[in-house]
Structure 1
Amino acid sequence: MTCFTTLTSKIVPLPVDNVDTDQIIPARFLKVTDKAGLGDNLFADWRYDAEGNPKPDFVLNRPEMKGRQVLLVGDNFGCGSSREHAPWALTGYGFRAVISTSFADIFRNNALKNRLLPVIVDKPTHQQLFSLCEEAPDFEVTIDLAAQTLTLPDGRAVGFPIDAFSKACLLNGVDEIGYVLRMTDQILAFEAAHHK
């Protein structure tokens, strides 16, 4: 896994509340057990017409949005059914962080386990970011995971919450198993002493 330390990126705005996991990655794409290619189907029902052609008015299909790694969304993002494919599709597309005022708990946990950082901000900051997307759409934000801050173009740094375990895993580029395996020597020493 790649370490997440700091990220500076332009933003893709998607001002929709209550985006559920079936909108993020429709159920017909859940037959796969491999993450490869899921990014192509991210927001498929919004992104493509009935013939599979990109809808030019959908935000991800606008040429200037290519390569942006931060998605700004409405409230309660990732609600609905529990599917790990949702963060797989988001990271497969190239997103490394999603900013909202709130996330569904299961989605947030799945995101953190799949190298996607959910950044929770207060409502005034959230509104400021959407306003900036209209006024100066090419602005950048910087996310510093160690400091747990989102820095806006005016230099203001806004804190965001994350649990210590998830933060350690992201900073070190390990999943839950990798985190435990990094302590193999201590585990073996404990086991040896415990059996005596």
Structure 2
Amino acid sequence: MTHADPGAKGALAQRWLACAAQQRQTLEYRLTCLAFERIADGQPLPLGEAQAALGKAPEDSRDLIDRMARQGRLTLDEHGDAIVAAGGLSLIPSRHRLVLNGRQLYTWCALDAVGIPAGLQANARVESRCAACGAPVWLEIEAGELRSASHPDLALSLVAPDLSRSLRDGVCAEIGFYCCRAADEAGVRGLMSVAAAVQLGRELCRYGPPI
């Protein structure tokens, strides 16, 4: 299996880094950070607490939360009164399982799965499946560094950070792991080695959640 050439990989990486830097100046990112920190501890963030922390009128805070939910930038629980996923980190089971510092969590995409523990310089085990053939894949990260992986050429598919689409259901849905030649045969573009993805994730998540 071949990975994207360094130039193409670099261009996509720079787009992610630029998008993340821009988002860090927004109220949306402030809310994402609040929820992300709570979820990393294994707990949801109650909406009342989130609204109080934003320091806006209750109706304005609720409008912001609902808009972010529609944009796929956070997920509310079934009752709509707590945030259970934000910044790519989730309490809701997904195809990407992340054991982060001994706590069972989940992520929206493969880049979140490797980037979050890399940025936090944490210990983690990631379990998922190849998006092409369905085979189980895994990797282990120690103090933010890649230590081992199920396949020597394990890669992930990187796409541009297009916030005009749902972050969770659009962009993240296209960023998966690949372990076999089926990715080449299917014409998957933007393949990046997991080692390179860890490096990108370290930059993206150095100050908190990626976006």
Common fold: TM-score over 0.5: no
Between structure 1 and structure 2, the one with the greater Rg is: 1
Give TM-score scaled by structure 2 length.
0.30
Give TM-score scaled by structure 1 length.
0.31
